[in-house]
Structure 1
Amino acid sequence: MKRLWIVLLGLTLLGPVLAGSSIDDFQEAKKVLFQRVYTPAQRTTFYCGCSFDSQKRVDAASCGYRVRKDAARGNRIEWEHIVPAAVFGQRLACWQNARSVCGRGGGRKCCSRTNPTFRSLEADMHNLVPAVGELNADRANYGFGLIAGEARQYGRCDFEVSNGLAEPRPEVRGNVARAYLYMNDRVQSDLGYGFLSSDQRRMYLQWHRTDPPDDWECQRHELIHRLQGNWNPYIVEGCE
């Protein structure tokens, strides 16, 4: 019966999950997340679990974070795309031919200015989390996976970057997976192509199963649904 209910729920949510978001501006999305989702009681960074304040300053002592190199970005939060914008935007003409399309600026800026679908994807709050700025910079556009060994470049923060790959702590691997699976479906619907290989999809489905949504992920999802107007069905099925 539960399986049947999940199937029916998935069919019911198919429209809303694939529909464009009601928020189509990245700057607006960041403000909404900070003001209406990450209220003071929930102000912790995604990858390291560090507290941050109303000025977006990271409390390194709360999580044992140690700056690797960039003190300015290591002491503030930034809004991180779990699925980088380059992953879903780099096939677009506005990205590949930014100079001819826009005359100036890089691919992401050009697509943000000229492509409403990209702008909506870029602003999707289901794919945005607060992260220590230095980690956002070091991760760049790398994908996720498992890295041999347990090097600690950021103090006690369990986040590793090596050879074009990033490894998140086990407690958020399911969150990462659900963002990737959802965004892959949405990009497939909105732009006509997916970006996950079969091996990547297999890994993310495993992470999704082994790290189900916790209470905060479910609460966050419901808040974003109310504000943005669409669901992530990979979270919904684990929150009922």
Structure 2
Amino acid sequence: MSKIYCLLILGFSLLTHSLFSQAATTKINNFSQAKVAAIKINKEASTFYCGCKIEWQGKKGIVDLDACGYKIRRNELRAKRVEWEHVVPAAHLGKNRQCWQQGGRANCAKDPYYVKMETDLHNLQPAIGEINGDRNNYQFSQWRGGGGQYGACEMKVDFKNKQVEPPEYTRGVIARTYFYMRDTYHINLSSAQTQLMTVWDKLYPVSEWECERDRRIADVQGNHNPYVSKACQVIHPVTQ
């Protein structure tokens, strides 16, 4: 085989790999595009905080509230739709950005760094709209007592102290998301939150779905959450 032929084959292989790598990732320029991508990634997922099955009709997510025992607290309109929850709240992401300080979230639509944070698929989870609204930008916490605000949904919101206690099955996911966002975007995390998330990460290991979701996001966005992917290699390795 001639040296020139070998070089041509090598060049073609590198070009093919480059094109494949580019095709494997999707450029997301705004939150609307992120939501479209998130639907495809989470198409089999239930609502994050309440575990209610979602039926997707295009971009619209429908939840049978009676079937999952959800009780509407106050906002019937938002309770009947699926919204995309930022696990690390958008306000936490943007509060130190000049655009946010001069006009809030809407004013940050042209800030490329904020848009990258806001549209990061690792931080987006499908949630019942009322829960998304009630959670607001409250910090996660853990306490005893309470509950029943949303019927069978185990999410608890302490409006007075501005904190929320999520169901146990979400806590590990939340912790690993917080650590990823902290490291990726240099988000400040208090010592108390760091301690809580460290405990949750250890108590609630990755599930098969969390591993699959991370792989799907990497195919679209081009990067893994290392706190998920490294744990998945040990607990739920992909078999060839």
Cα shift readout 1:30-67 (whole Å, capped 9, x = no counterpart): 00111x2122xx14100000012123111113321111
1:177 corresponds in structure 2 to: 175
Work out which of the residue numbers 161, 175, 184 in structure 2 matches 1:186: 184
Are 1:120 and 2:96 an aligned pair?
Answer: no
Are 1:89 and 2:97 an aligned pair?
Answer: no
Aligned CA-pair RMSD: 1.3
Q: Where has structure 1 moved over 3 Å in runs of 4 or more?
A: none
Give the aligned residue type for 2:185.
V
Cα shift readout 1:128-171 (whole Å, capped 9, x = no counterpart): 00000000011111110113313210001000000200111001
Structure 2 Cα separation of the partners of residues 223 and 197 of structure 1: 30
2:46 corresponds in structure 1 to: 44
Give the aligned residue type for 1:172.
T
Structure 2 Cα separation of the partners of residues 164 and 145 of structure 1: 10
Structure 1 Cα separation of the partners of residues 29 and 88 of structure 2: 17
2:202 corresponds in structure 1 to: 209
Larger Rg: 2
Work out which of the residue numbers 188, 196, 199 in structure 2 matches 1:195: 188
Query: How far has the Cα of 1:24 moved from its partner?
Result: 3.5
Structure 2 Cα separation of the partners of residues 62 and 213 of structure 1: 27
Query: How far has the Cα of 1:199 moved from its partner?
Result: 1.7
In structure 1, the gaps of 5 or more residues are 1-20, 99-106, 189-193
Trace 1:7-18 onto structure 2 (pairs within 5 A).
Answer: none
Q: Secondary structure at the match of 1:54?
A: strand
Q: Name the structure with the higher helix share.
A: 1
Structure 2 Cα separation of the partners of residues 24 and 234 of structure 1: 25
Count of residue correspondences: 203
Give the aligned residue type for 2:81.
R
Work out which of the residue numbers 29, 54, 78 in structure 2 matches 1:24: 29
1:224 corresponds in structure 2 to: 217
Structure 2 Cα separation of the partners of residues 43 and 218 of structure 1: 13
1:15 corresponds in structure 2 to: none
Cα shift readout 1:95-129 (whole Å, capped 9, x = no counterpart): 1123xxxxxxxx1111122x101001100000000
2:143 corresponds in structure 1 to: 147
Structure 2 Cα separation of the partners of residues 28 and 219 of structure 1: 21
Percent of aligned positions with the same letter in both sequences? 42
In structure 2, the gaps of 5 or more residues are 1-25, 234-240
Query: How far has the Cα of 1:22 moved from its partner?
Result: 4.2
**Normalising to structure 2: TM-score of the pair?**
0.82
Give the aligned residue type for 1:171.
Y
Structure 1 Cα separation of the partners of residues 149 and 102 of structure 2: 37
1:17 corresponds in structure 2 to: none
Give the aligned residue type for 1:204.
M
**Normalising to structure 1: TM-score of the pair?**
0.82
| Structure 1 contact 68–154 (Cα < 8 Å) conserved | yes
Q: Secondary structure at the match of 1:88?
A: helix
